[in-house]
Amino acid sequence: MKTIPLQLLNQYAKPGGSYCYLAKVVDRDGNAFGFTTLDANVLYDDGFHVVNYSSRQELRPQKLQSTSDYDAINTDLLGWFNIELEKLILAGMFDRAELTLYRVAYLKLEAGAELLAYGTVGEVDFAASAKGTRKIEFLGLKDQLHQVVNEMYSLTCRAQFGDDRCKMPFSWQSGQVSAVGGSPFLAFSVSGEAMARPAGYYEFGVIEFLSGDNTGAELEVEGWGSSGQTQLSFLAPYPVKVGDQLRIRRDCGKTETDCKGYNNIINMRAEHLTPVENAAIMVPGAYIKSVGAE
């Protein structure tokens, strides 16, 4: 059962309904961002963060309701945010970020807050309406009960490169953008210690931007030249500019050959020795006939 502070209930009972919604987002680096439906900023301490909830960046919950069963409680939050916050979202800083929704009496903040919902950020839609509003999907904690957690057989490693199961430490090399190609979202040249690697060395590796408009974005490298020519697999959120600081590392193709190359075959999470009829299908045991089968 939900507990609402008595003083806050008394504020709700007064004519005029002097309450507003607060939305707090904590990104993957632990930074807290606040949004309010009020037309003035709200400075509020929820016991975890002291946040200035901005009236210039609103996130208003839509059709928020609670149920007594175990269905995932999902909703959307509509509003807008400035260009600086938009850059962080496009860089992935809000991926699975913590999202908390409160309702408070803005004329008596000391009355406490009603906790409406706690969960994570889902999909962010930048084209929610013609008026320029944005939409953020709220995923309740019960949504995790609907996630598939059983692992399937696989010829390639199921661990993420560098995670607790893989145990391989990342080896980053620093650099900066020295020139930009015909497409500033995809092609550029890198100078610095990263250039000490031959052509193809970083292909299908990862670049992380440390400064500029793309700060925080981690992107896959599709092509790497001996002179630092870099081609991304997917468009960067914003045009890459000369002088942008970055770091780059290799990744793993999750095959037996890759794991042996890293001297890490003991930590490989795959059934790579399972016989297959057609290696191109990459499904263990697919189309293998038993003895006497036609």
Q: Under a CB-based contact definition with an 8 Å cutoff, are residues 261 and 145 in contact?
A: no
Whether the predicted pLDDT of 158 surpasses 80: yes
Please tell me the total number of residues recorded for the chain in this structure: 294
Specify the pLDDT at position 273: 82
The whole-angstrom separation of Cα 72 and Cα 75 is 10
Is 173-249 CATH 2.40.10?
Answer: yes
Nearest to 94 by CA among 62, 125, 63, 50: 125
Report the sign of the C-alpha dihedral through residues 257, 260, 264, 269, in that order.
positive
Q: Report the pLDDT averaged over residues 128-133.
A: 54
Tens of pLDDT, residue by residue over 91-109, are 777 777 888 888 888 878 8
Euclidean distance between CA atoms 226 and 55, whole angstroms: 50
Q: Strand pairing partners for 75?
A: 138
Tell me how far apart the alpha carbons of residues 277 and 286 are, in angstroms, rounded to a whole number.
6
Instruction: Kindly indicate the confidence band of residue 72, based on its pLDDT and cuts at 50, 70 and 90.
Output: very low
Distance CA 53, CA 50 (A): 9
The tens digit of pLDDT for each residue in 258-267 reads 999 899 999 9
As a whole number of angstroms, the distance between CA 273 and CA 256 comes to: 9
Contact 32, 25 (CB under 8 A): yes
CB 136 within 8 A of CB 59: yes
Q: What is the reported pLDDT for 131?
A: 54
Q: Which residue has the tokens 């008595």?
A: 6
Using a pLDDT cut of 70, give the percent of the chain over it. 76
Which residue reads 């969960």 in tokens?
119
pTM of the model: 0.57
The DSSP output letter for 213 is T
- CA dihedral of 31, 36, 41, 43, whole degrees rounded to 10: -50
Which among 189, 219, 248, 232 is positioned nearest to 90, based on CA atoms?
Answer: 219
**Identity of the residue numbered 210:** L
- Which alpha helices (H) appear in 14-141, and where do they start and end? 83-90
Q: What letters, b where the CB count within 10 A reaches 16 and e where it falls short, cover 5-16?
A: eeebeebeeeee
Residue 287 or 91, more confident: 91
Collect all residues with Cβ–Cβ distance below 8 Å to 165 and sequence separation of at least 6.
159, 267, 269
How confident is the model at residue 70, as a pLDDT?
42
